[in-house]
């Protein structure tokens, strides 16, 4: 398949690009500007496009079979709260712009669209309630509202010739692009420096597992995709557990944070995705990833 990926140089998008390329697909990244040399893997094309709903982006979809939409225009390092002091502009770009891309892709004859949504679309739920795809969403942030509205718009566009699927993705971990911090850089640095770390527990999934889910949505026969919404989540991870892996790898003797109270956590179930054959990496992939993080490697060299 010839697949275009918006946000393909971002934290999640780059995992998607690498996976699709390794699986033999032709990959094009949609970017606002030409990426710096070496930013993209060899063989990946570039189409200049944006989330501006007032600009015709039809040239990006010439000859395209599949579209993965992972782009988000937000303040650096922030998703929830990424609108800053401009919620209307955030909605215009990320909702109106997203819907415009979906509509343009459909007019161009694209057959399959995969939208990277977020667990934020669920919004606030009863403490401890599990989250499967049948739970009624109550998005209570601008980010969550935009993601939820884009899901619904894609579903409305879906027909026999244009299949749109949304993936509600939890927190994504994994290595970062060279020279950039990963999501736990500051946390691990603090622990290794003896700085107090407060308790916290959250759900996580590796970027490679997200990419595998995306590819599955592109490659699965449309007849087997009666569902159009899938959770993507793997581990319930406490900071104490994460830093215990760092401690074991480095021999650091600083005390670990207290175990967090997970009783109110809303854990996402991925049974719907797993029923199609998706198998996340679990604890083994977590340990492999943490052992290779630059902070851990530097500590071992000291």
Return contacts of 26-34, CB within 8 angstroms, 24+ apart.
26/1, 26/2, 27/3, 28/2, 28/3, 28/4, 28/60, 28/64, 29/4, 29/5, 30/4, 30/5, 30/6, 30/57, 30/60, 30/71
pLDDT for 201 equals: 97
- DSSP-derived secondary structure letter, 231: E
CA distances (Å), origin 95, targets 101, 142, 254, 271: 10, 10, 45, 28
Is 59 exposed, middle or buried, given 0-12, 13-18 or 19+ CB atoms closer than 10 A? Answer: exposed
Pairing between β-strand 235-238 and β-strand 229-232 as defined by DSSP bridges:
unpaired
Is CATH 1.10.645.10 what the domain over 2-173+204-232 is classified as, yes or no?
A: no
pLDDT-derived band at 80, boundaries 50, 70, 90: low
- DSSP-derived secondary structure letter, 81: T
Calculate what percentage of the chain has a pLDDT beyond 90: 82
The boundaries of every CATH 3.40.50.720 domain in the chain are 2-173+204-232
The CATH number that domain 185-203+235-301 falls under is: 3.90.25
| CB-CB contact of 10 with 70 (8 Å) | yes
| CB-CB contact of 101 with 51 (8 Å) | yes
- Per-residue pLDDT of 127-185, as tens digits, reads 999 999 999 999 999 999 999 999 999 999 999 999 999 999 999 999 988 778 899 99
| CB-CB contact of 100 with 157 (8 Å) | no
- Per-residue pLDDT of 185-225, as tens digits, reads 999 999 999 999 999 999 999 999 999 999 999 999 998 89
- Per-residue pLDDT of 228-240, as tens digits, reads 999 999 999 999 9
pLDDT for 302 equals: 63
The boundaries of every CATH 3.90.25 domain in the chain are 185-203+235-301
Q: Which run of H or of E encompasses 241? A: helix 239-250
Helix (H, G, I), strand (E, B) or coil at 149: helix
């Amino acid at each position: 398949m010839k697949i275009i990926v918006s946000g393909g140089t971002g934290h999640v998008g780059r995992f998607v690009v690498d996976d699709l390329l390794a699986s033999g697909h032709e990959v094009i990244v949609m970017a606002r500007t030409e990426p710096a040399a070496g930013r993209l893997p060899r063989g990946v094309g570039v189409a200049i496009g944006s989330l501006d709903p007032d600009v015709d982006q039809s040239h990006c979809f010439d000859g395209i079979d599949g579209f993965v939409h992972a782009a988000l225009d937000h303040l650096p390092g922030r998703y929830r709260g990424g609108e800053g002091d401009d919620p209307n502009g955030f909605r215009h770009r990320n909702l109106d712009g997203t819907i415009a891309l979906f509509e343009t892709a459909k007019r161009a004859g694209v057959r399959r669209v995969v939208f990277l949504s977020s667990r934020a679309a669920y919004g606030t739920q009863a403490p401890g309630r599990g989250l499967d795809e049948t739970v009624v969403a109550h998005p209570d942030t601008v980010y969550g509202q935009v993601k939820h509205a884009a899901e619904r718009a894609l579903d409305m566009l879906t027909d026999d010739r244009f299949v749109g699927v949304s993936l509600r993705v939890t927190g994504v971990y994994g290595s970062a692009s060279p020279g950039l911090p990963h999501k736990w850089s500051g946390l691990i640095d603090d622990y290794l420096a003896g700085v107090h770390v407060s308790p916290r527990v959250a759900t996580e999934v590796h970027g490679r597992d997200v990419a595998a889910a995306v590819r599955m949505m592109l490659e699965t026969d449309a007849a087997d995709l009666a569902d159009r919404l899938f959770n993507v989540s793997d581990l319930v991870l406490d900071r104490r557990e994460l830093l215990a892996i760092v401690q074991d790898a480095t021999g650091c003797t600083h005390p670990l944070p207290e175990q967090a109270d997970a009783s109110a956590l809303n854990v996402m179930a991925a049974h719907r995705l797993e029923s199609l054959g998706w198998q996340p990496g679990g604890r083994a992939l977590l340990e492999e990833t943490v052992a290779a993080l630059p902070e851990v490697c530097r500590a071992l060299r000291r």
